[in-house]
Amino acid sequence: MMLTLLKKYIERIAYIHYLIQKKSTGSPVVFAKKIGLTKAQVSVYIRFLRSVGLKIVYIKSRETYSYDGETDLRFICGFVQNSPELNKSIKYSILKEKNRRA
């Protein structure tokens, strides 16, 4: 069940990314209808994508979301065996990101 939900979530983000990249989202209401969500839910996804560093803008004159500059979005998901070295690496990456944003 969880993997099905995760897959659906990733596929939805990938489709949102595709529409934004092609500048073919339409207005927030049209965008929501295209992806089967409410306008409020679209806002949640946009906020999430912005929170991971994507620069998304809304072009009012064209009624579409767009990336501000080049954007390459990749999903990497998998399982690894837990180890002290991996934990240290993950903690370092998180701290590095927090310091970069501060």
Angle between helices 2-21 and 28-35 (to 10 degrees): 140
The CATH number given to whatever domain includes residue 6 is: 1.10.10.10
Per the CB < 8 A criterion, the answer to whether 67 and 56 are in contact is yes
* Model pTM score: 0.70
Per-residue pLDDT of the chain (102 residues; tens, 9 = 90+): 667 888 888 889 989 999 999 999 999 999 999 999 999 999 999 999 998 888 999 999 999 999 998 877 776 666 566 667 766 666 555 555 555 555
Q: How far is CA 76 from the centre of its chain?
A: 13
pLDDT of residue 69: 85
Total domains in the chain come to 1
Give the residue numbers spanning the domain of 12.
2-101
Write the DSSP symbol of residue 86. H
E strand spans, 1-102: 56-59, 64-67
DSSP state of 62: T
